[in-house]
Amino acid sequence: MKAKPKVTRKRTSQKRAKTFTGAHALLLFPSGEDHKATLDLMRRFSAAVRYAYNRLLEGQTRENLKRQDGPLCFFSRLNTRHADDAVLKAQAVLDSARERGEDPRKVAFGGRKLFETLKRGHLSGKPLKELKREWREKRQGTLYSRGDKTKGGNLNLRLLVKEGALWLRINLGNGSYAHALVKTSHPNLNALLKVFPWRGSNQRVYASLPYNVELSLKDGKVYATFTWLLRTLEILLRLERPFLVNVNLPLKPKGFLWTRQSVRAYEGVVIPGEDPMGRPFYWFASRPLKEVEEGTDRWAVAQGFVSATPLRLDLTDETRLQPTLAHD
């Protein structure tokens, strides 16, 4: 009898280009009380994410859910910042489910695969105990805090340097804090701490640049993942006098390059459209020429670089487009 060929599931979404970078670390708690308090906060935050997810499905808004007198703050005993981050985390799960074409009502917090395995009930003894522990850690062991430059880099999960060691200060939401030693040899840690004299002291911890932090629980240990926006994109977003930049992202960026636009053969067709903010724009239909010149956006992406190309014409500015359209 011939073996049946493996059925592979097609991915419904392409792999996204990397716009964030980060580091992963183990957290060591000198104080047992701090460790216990952090686990309790992670449990309450995880419950708040599940609650917020269900309310978002019902059509409730982020503004209502994060209110100080709302259920997230009251029942989960979270500060408003923790509550807001729980809503953002829930929204990310919801968006991900919709992007994959899955029914958002069937999302299983803790993992669908683990849930189905536990539901079958075919395990017993130590394997069942281990599976239940893993399920519980995934379902109850999350804490997320987004970065904010106006809040010292991160309000609720802040990195501090004490006597040459890196610590994480965890806001417990009741006016008190827990402290954990950050243990990692990840190479990206330099981007958080290392001093670059020729660039100025612009490392994140000292300059209070924003970084996101997410805590997770595995095998009874607490881990932290630190992520931050790529430096070049930060600069683009902070320009006092912004200009239009065409950014192209390869699947696995290895660097960044300012580029010029590659030569294109225009088809003489103008296609009207609308951007996400509802503003009309016009796209000049074109096809790239076969030759790819060094220094152009196409060349940079082909080499694995993020390319940023300043644009000379704002395709959302109808007043400047009218002469062009009239000429055509």
Q: List per-block mean pLDDT (blocks of 10 residues) for the chain, which spans 328 residues.
A: 42 42 87 97 95 93 89 89 93 84 84 74 76 84 90 89 87 93 75 46 60 92 84 61 74 78 68 65 64 81 83 56 50
- Contact at 8 Å (CB) between 54 and 95? no
CA atoms within 13 A on the CB side of 328: 11
Query: What is the model's pTM?
Result: 0.63
CB atoms closer than 10 angstroms to residue 147: 22
How far apart are the C-alpha atoms of 171 and 155, rounded to whole Å?
A: 8
- Please tell me whether residue 221 adopts helix, strand or coil conformation: strand
How far apart are the C-alpha atoms of 221 and 18, rounded to whole Å?
A: 28
* pLDDT at residue number 129: 77
